[in-house]
Structure 1
């Protein structure tokens, strides 16, 4: 008798997300820690200095959290109304924030009371930031104005009133002491130079601007508003480089990784998208339970902190990479040299090589099929470990049993539990186009065998009804797809006919010669 050939398991294309290096990297962020705040979390800002504490602005408070603390290690609550945009200075020693009562406050991280209060705006101040020289503060307000404040003297230096709507976001350059950017609900982003009296550049975002971000090099600017994230080249006069539309609702926040190679955006659609800054394609995404208002990434990329509308702060820490300890090499006995002629030895032409036959180990279902135990082989591939991880193995064994002509025998004579397992597998995979041709045949045989005993078991009866419902839904879905396909074929045929007619009408015709020209030609 010829040797047994194991069941050939066909390889199917893998469904779902494509696994890339970015996928593996961002999946290393552990299960999040949920912290309940007093109100919607409108801003998160990390300290640029270790240990990288972060300030969370929510309601009338600014809480300072440590890297692993679930309770605030410090709180600033000297606000009469809602606080906005708690932001660290470059050295991590001072913190500035705006407020609904139009006052900009400056705090010392080691103290509690405000060091300075800058009064000059007439409406809520939603954005504050420190300039690169650390001695000035830039602010933007709902009174359409942007102001620059002097920290040592506590006075206003200059005011810009070029926006025609609320100024809700902005940022200062980390390289140039005098450059800063503001974004407004008038759909524009403006670049200002503190040495001039007017803006030096204006970009039309075409949506109310919710967040702006300058790249570390200072040459690129990112703006977010509506469903769009747009990247501008400041070195080319504010030229639009790319417009991204990967969110379904308003984009509210932006941040960059420490290397500047990944851009993150958070939105009211509960998603955080991660883009590569080389081609601006989405390389990964995170899903959250509520709409996202604020987003921040730690300077060392070890934490992602997200603030949501349901007053929850979501904190994810990245797992450290597993470093396998180097195992010491086993010392070889001196006799080893007498039997092996070195590690790099290659057989010579006059050497006689004795090859040991490799013994093939069969899988459990192959061993059972080899012994013609088709029912037991089917039971072996219906185990939960195989069904859940590799359903293609189960389908391949069913197909092999059908090829042998013994599928009906393998399915017959089963109790309620075994039959339920088969029906559950059919319900889950029968509409999968990869398995449908085989499983439809299996479902037909199961129905023929057990149609007389359906009413005897309520469990089996319920599973048969569910299987029938799955098949009916799939049939209706296919009918709808065929209708849509017919409509599209008609539409394409009509468009092709119109193009043919237009091309015929526009085809140039030969111009008849007039009689005078013909007479001149004949006389000549």
Structure 2
């Protein structure tokens, strides 16, 4: 009796992912940790000093979370309405935030009540930042104005009203205490110098500006709005260097890595793109479950924090390399002679080789096929983990059943749930070029067997209608492709005929030129 041969499952080539240094670096994060906030997370800001806690602005609260425990260590809730843009000062001791009622509040990180409150805006304040000298605050509001406030005296120093729409983003320079930038829904980005009464530079972004970012050197400015991320050269009067369009929905936030060599952009399309600041090409991408509103990186890129529209805070910690203890006992290894044992042994003439029989381990569906339980074998490969992840196994078993002539028996006698599962598998894979030659036969057998029951179940009828529409659509595609192929054949034939007609003329011209050359040489 011949030995049972396992089912041959055909393997197909897979497209490999290009592995780069950026891929290895940015994929080295743990499973995300999620924290539910009270509303959409509009701003995330890390403290510039140890222990690098981060402030999360959501709804009418600002939570300060510990970087390692993910527990709130401080909460500021003295807001009458929605809070915006909770931002640390460069020494990490103060936080400033705007409010829906037009107020600007400043808090001490070790207290609870506001230390200062600045009133002057008459609409929501979405932008607040400390200047680099630590004694002034810049703010931008929906009343189209940007203002400068003095912290010790709680007074307004200066007011600018050059924008013609809401001011929703801004930043201050780390090098120059008098420079700050604002971005507005009037499609412009303006650079202000507090020593003058008007803006010193204006860039047309072309879309409502959602976020601006000034490089630490102060030479480059990045603006985000619409689907575009644009980089401007500040040293050349705001000249546009590059325009990036890698998102398919509005870009909402920008961030730089700790080294400054990678630029991050988050969007409503649920993606975070990582760009190289040398070439401005996408080197990596992160996917998230919902639209992204805010983004921040911890020092040394130790953690990525993303805030989303559904109020979820997503945290990814970098994996730490496990260091081996200096005094850990070393595992004893075999001696050198263990590895070279028998190396010089030469078999003798009278030696007999006794081979150990190789035991083959059969898959579950092969065991059922071996015992001629064809229907159960098909049920096994129609389980979700097999039919979804490895459909080639399901198709391979169907092909084996067809080769044995038992495919019709395996498909017959199924109830509504099992038949619906089969039809769903066909709808998903019948137009796949790898499987269509097998699944077309399966579809024909199913149609022949279950044609009498059509009309008795709305679920089965709906699946058959979808299958019919899918096949008709595929036939239309094939017909259009055949028409295109015929057009290409006609073009190629025309080009070939023209080439053949031109060749005799070229040959005659070459012969005439050669004769003229010879006569000139003779003369």
TM-score range (shorter-chain normalised) is 0.7 to 0.9
Is 1:274 the counterpart of 2:273? The answer is yes
Stretches of structure 2 that go unaligned for 5 or more consecutive residues are: 490-523
Cα distance between partner residues in 2 of 1:136 and 1:418: 71
CA drift of 1:284 comes to: 2.1
Distance change in 2, residues 1:283/1:331 (3 Å):
closer
Q: Name the residue aligned to 2:244.
A: 244
Distance across 2 between alignment mates of 1:127 and 1:94: 16
Residues 1:465 and 2:461 aligned together:
yes
Superposed, 1:197-236 pairs within 5 Å as 198-236=198-236
Q: Distance in 1 between matches of 2:136 and 2:188?
A: 24
Deviations 1:203-254 (A, max 9, x none): 2101221210123343332111223222223344433233233444433322
Deviations, residues 283-328 of structure 1 (Å, cap 9, x unaligned)? 3243444x544343444542424152x6x24333437458598997
Distance 1:148 1:135 in 2: 10
Tell me the CA shift for residue 90 of structure 1. 1.2
Alpha carbons of 1:486 and 1:265: their partners in 2 closer, same or farther (altered >3 Å)?
farther
Shift of 1:41: 4.3
1:304: which partner in 2? 305
Root-mean-square deviation (CA), in Å? 4.6
- SS of 2:10's equivalent? coil
Shifted more, 406-415 versus 484-493: the winner is 484-493
Matches within 5 A, 1:104-503: 104-119=104-119, 124-195=124-195, 198-267=198-267, 269=268, 271-277=270-276, 278-281=279-282, 283-289=284-290, 292-299=292-299, 300-308=301-309, 312-318=311-317, 320=319, 323=322, 330-331=331-332, 337=337, 340-341=339-340, 359=358, 361=360, 363-364=362-363, 378=378, 381-402=381-402, 404=403, 406-408=405-407, 411=410, 416=415, 422-423=422-423, 425-449=425-449, 451=451, 454=453, 464-478=460-474, 481=477
Structure 2 CA distance for aligned equivalents of residues 105 and 487 of structure 1: 69
> Where does residue 98 of structure 1 map in the other structure?
98
Q: C-alpha separation between the residues in 2 aligned to 1:208 and 1:420?
A: 49
Q: How many residues align?
A: 477
Distance 1:10 1:73, change over 3 A: same
2: distance between equivalents of 1:194 and 1:107? 24
> In the TM superposition, what is the alpha-carbon distance from 1:471 to its structure 2 partner?
1.2
Spell out, residue by residue over 1:244-279, the C-alpha distance to the aligned partner (whole angstroms, 9 max, x if none).
Answer: 334444333222333444433344x35242222244
**The residue matched to 2:11 in structure 1 has which SS?**
coil
| Superposition deviation, residue 362 in structure 1 | 5.1
Return the TM-score normalized by structure 2. Answer: 0.73
Counterparts of 2:293 and 2:99 in 1: how far apart (Å)?
Answer: 17
3-state SS of the aligned residue for 1:398?
helix
Shift of 1:474: 0.6
CA gap of 1:351–1:41, structure 2 versus 1, over 3 A, is: same
1:521 match: none
TM-score by length of 1: 0.73
How far the C-alpha of 1:122 sits from its partner, in A, is 5.9
With over 3 angstroms needed to count, the CA separation of the structure-2 counterparts of 1:223 and 1:468, relative to structure 1, is same
d(CA) in 1 for partners of 2:169, 2:400: 65
- Structure 1 residues without counterparts, runs of 5 or longer: 494-524
Displacement of 1:428 in angstroms is: 4.0
The 1-side partners of 2:380 and 2:143 are apart by 73
